[in-house]
Amino acid sequence: MSINGLNVTSPNSARYWSELKSLSNTEKIELIALLSSSMTIADERPASNKKGWTKSFAGKWQDDRSAEEIIADIRGERKSIIRDLDL
């Protein structure tokens, strides 16, 4: 699809453009700045899927109960929901 001579492959982009095209140039520039800023912030955040990210949780759990007691508590708090499913 082509909008204003630009090749647009995302249906979302085309949908947003149909709603945003009537904005003033000043409003469009503000949106560009906000979108650019959000991309920069996202790039600076560490990716949660990086190898070894789970190591940051090691040793964080503080509890006086034994593993068996914790497991028993978790299992005891489980709730079963029995209901008819509409498929």
Encode the chain in three state secondary structure: CEECCEECCCHHHHHHHHHHCCCCHHHHHHHHHHHHHHHHHHHHCCCCCCCCHHHHHCCCCCCCCCHHHHHHHHHHHCCCCCCCCCC
Whole-structure pTM value:
0.40
Give dist(CA 66, CA 80) in Å, integer: 25
Give pLDDT tens digits for 32-47.
898 888 876 655 555 5
**Which parts of the chain sit beneath pLDDT 70?**
1-2, 40-50, 85
Residue 47: per-residue pLDDT: 59
